[in-house]
Amino acid sequence: MKISVLLVASALFFGATVQAQNSDGAKLTAESMIVDYGEVPYKGDGVRDFVFKNEGKQPLMITNAKGSCGCTVPEWPKDPIRPGAKGVIKIKYDTARPGMISKTVTITTNEVESMDDAGNPQYKQHVVRITGNVKQPPASGGLPVNNNSGVPGE
């Protein structure tokens, strides 16, 4: 019986601790969790900014940011973002790939989301959707093609 009461009390304590950390800790917010490239020229500028804000009461750390494939590469701030301050993650998409863009960037922060069974914090992950369209490469426009034969006009 004592063990059951102790387990319930521990669960309540850890639950209250996580709630306090969630409300008093760092908190990443953004106007939108979508970065829309719109129409991008083939091999055009593939860098966009994902702007976010720390609306928490403690410094926000971006501990990792990972693209869903090698064609989407995020660059995140390594220094803490103060409460009330904004930060930027630069997202580079390989625009040498024509067609629709439908990728994600997963951002891991120091925001405590929950505790595991051993009492270790589980950190929050935010998923940013990357959308848009890379236009097809320009046609050759009737320019001669080099056939490497060495004979002019062939």
The DSSP string of 58-103 is: S-B-EEEEEESSTTEEEE---SPBPTT-EEEEEEEE-TTS-EEEEE
97: alpha, beta or left, given left = phi > 0 and alpha = psi -120 to 50? beta
Comparing 5 with 46, the larger pLDDT belongs to 46
User: Looking at residue 141, what is its pLDDT?
Assistant: 56
Let me know: does 64 contact 109? Beta carbons within 8 Å. Answer: no
Question: Does domain 2-134 bear CATH number 3.40.640.10?
Answer: no
User: Looking at residue 24, what is its pLDDT?
Assistant: 83
pLDDT band at 5 (very low <50, low <70, confident <90, very high): very low
| Domain locations along the chain | 2-134
